[in-house]
Structure 1
């Protein structure tokens, strides 16, 4: 192995007598470097976009969210809340009531989610910090915090008491309705804050109110909620927390984490990442075809050396390994150099921001060590395959010819 590797190392760094072979080898080496660099940079961009996309949902979604299996709402007692609080597994627990309702303002209307939260909501989510204009809702009030999209749609200002910002909900019940107005619950809200997430869908999605107001709109009793949102204490596993929730509330409840709450988004991001990786892998394979051609030409050029080594007693397997190692050296060094250049590009974008989506908003990119491993492993494996294909040109019939 040492003998074959030594000869391969000499061949890899020595110039050929043929300028054409030198040019083709240089092209193959540059192709590997560029393709490795491109793969790492693009994967880093997708890592940044993934983190950027998930940051929106992480602002809204808690670490754990509890739903009822049997209906939209369920009752929870203070004893159950206290049992969860004293377990030491949770840093925050908030009661929430949410559903889709109709909102009207200045003869304009839209359907959005009303989200009634209690005074402990800030222990579960830092969403209050996303209120860019105005303030958060106060207890026992008709305050409302709307998204930037709803504010634009309604041309709505804050603390507007002259124009009615109204929410409309259907009254539950059976039987014939004589007066259509009796079928609805209407409440006037006071817009006191506007939140901005930077995502059009999420900025149009929610209107935050107090828990009591949301219960009144949805005709729920004092202890009824639609879901329970929880934040885990440091070092607590999801498995232990979920087990405690089911122990306190019962088995007829669904507990979801952030990934399960956004499973469609996670599937889409994973699919996009996989497709992008496969496309980049194809680019690397095309670059390695040049390496195969270069190695075959080197084998043809080294006929006299191969004949001499064969006469000196070097067997076929060792001769083949010379060119196998040479191909692996070229691909490995090219992959390492490409990844190093890619890391430099990623770090420069992170720290100095050369590319912007808009003013004050840098293009998201993220250095991820797993991307380094993925690119290097891909280059090493494909480089080995390419070198093996080329080195197989050294066979018994070839030795007989030389």
Structure 2
């Protein structure tokens, strides 16, 4: 039988008239409950945002992306491509040429990200499902078409239905600039707008897709490519295929999975989540100071009980544990209520979308939330540590109390 716990429970659930000690204990319990609830909700929102980022970019990003470790392009040939295609787990390999170019339409112009892709590009992503106007076919009956982002369309007032006004792309040639004939310093090619896509603002406002041959001629890349985008065959582990490709290609190439293609963005979310956790942990610490005050006052209020227990043979450790358990009860009950309420709020947000993001988005209207077991564990550990920190001092004070002076 755990005597210290039984005594602590008797003190906590005492039916005596409410006094200042019980009021402070209840305030401490409420503070822990509110703090733990808020922490779970905020951490779940960050988890949801992380998944939202992956969902947004999943329609644009390949499973694996091969790029040059140095420079922005690399040479390819038939043997090189066949080595990659024969790799177990590789289903589709798309060749990509991507660079900045000047786009003109009627009397307007802007710099865009020109992305030339091979014919099998749309076999490994969901961009075709993001087409909001026109079609996603880049080559029809030997005629080239461009797929432009919705932001680019708005900026230049592009109308895919107008087949009489083409998009004109300009790219600087690798020749000495001639001030007498500046146009000779640029390659220029025209293509019709075939469709408009809407994925995410970052892409919609800058990207234009064109056939690989069109980009190759305009940018004068020849057999060079800026990247290879690879779809992993069903049933294969992406990380295993990634490691195999990296070993095959060597240190001259980077082989990145979807998360690694957006390392900085995902790292920023994780860092913000960490700082939020630390901030709310300090808030929990401040709320738990009420446990310290209530235990200190309880030690004074129960000094005769302490003296009697000591005279009956209770050790200093036993007396100390009574007040440690008392603080633990306050924190445990508060944390239980807080974590339960936090889980309930997150479930309601997932089901009904109570809190809107307050902006138009094609992906989601309300704040995304995702509960993870690790968040509950870390929150529980934080509460345990904080409770021990604020309970040790009053517990030691009770254990050191004189028997003869208080009996």
SS at match of 1:393: helix
Higher alpha-carbon deviation: 391-400 or 22-31: 391-400
Higher alpha-carbon deviation: 352-361 or 295-304: 352-361
Matched, 1:215 2:216: yes
Residue 16 of structure 1 deviates from its aligned partner by 4.6
Q: TM-score, normalised by structure 2?
A: 0.91
**Unmatched 5+ residue regions in structure 2?**
none
SS at match of 1:119: coil
CA distance in 2, matches of 1:138, 1:147: 14
Question: Which residue in the other structure is 1:287 paired with?
Answer: 287
CA distance in 2, matches of 1:2, 1:181: 90
Question: Which residue in the other structure is 1:353 paired with?
Answer: 353
Q: TM-score, normalised by structure 1?
A: 0.92
Residue 385 of structure 1 deviates from its aligned partner by 1.8
CA distance in 2, matches of 1:109, 1:138: 22
Question: Which residue in the other structure is 2:367 paired with?
Answer: 363
Question: Which residue in the other structure is 1:53 paired with?
Answer: 53
Residue 247 of structure 1 deviates from its aligned partner by 5.0
Check whether the contact 1:105–1:165 (CA below 8 A) recurs between aligned residues. Answer: yes
SS at match of 2:259: helix
SS at match of 2:103: strand
C-alpha spacing 1:85/1:351, structure 2 compared with 1 (3 Å): same
Question: Which residue in the other structure is 1:12 paired with?
Answer: 12
Instruction: Map 1:105-116; keep pairs closer than 5 Å.
Output: 105-116=105-116
Question: Which residue in the other structure is 1:206 paired with?
Answer: 207
SS at match of 1:160: coil
Query: Alpha carbon RMSD of aligned pairs, Å?
Result: 2.3
Check whether the contact 2:242–2:257 (CA below 8 A) recurs between aligned residues. Answer: no
Higher alpha-carbon deviation: 343-352 or 138-147: 138-147
Residue 243 of structure 1 deviates from its aligned partner by 4.2
C-alpha spacing 1:249/1:395, structure 2 compared with 1 (3 Å): closer
Question: Which residue in the other structure is 2:2 paired with?
Answer: 2
Question: Which residue in the other structure is 1:167 paired with?
Answer: 169
**Unmatched 5+ residue regions in structure 1?**
none
Matched, 1:152 2:154: yes
C-alpha spacing 1:400/1:289, structure 2 compared with 1 (3 Å): farther
Query: Which residue of 184, 189, 197 corresponds with 1:182?
Result: 184
Check whether the contact 1:105–1:166 (CA below 8 A) recurs between aligned residues. Answer: yes
Check whether the contact 2:311–2:403 (CA below 8 A) recurs between aligned residues. Answer: no
Residue 241 of structure 1 deviates from its aligned partner by 2.4
CA distance in 2, matches of 1:389, 1:204: 59
SS at match of 2:357: strand
Describe the superposition over 1:243-276 as per-residue Cα deviations: whole angstroms up to 9, x where unpaired.
Answer: 4324544542222233332222123212211221
CA distance in 2, matches of 1:234, 1:302: 68
Describe the superposition over 1:27-76 as per-residue Cα deviations: whole angstroms up to 9, x where unpaired.
Answer: 11111111111111111112222222343333322232111245432232
C-alpha spacing 1:329/1:141, structure 2 compared with 1 (3 Å): farther
Residue 87 of structure 1 deviates from its aligned partner by 2.6
Query: Which residue of 374, 385, 389 corresponds with 1:385?
Result: 389
Instruction: Map 1:122-133; keep pairs closer than 5 Å.
Output: 122-133=122-133
Check whether the contact 2:25–2:330 (CA below 8 A) recurs between aligned residues. Answer: no
Check whether the contact 1:134–1:192 (CA below 8 A) recurs between aligned residues. Answer: yes
Number of residue pairs the alignment of both structures matches: 400
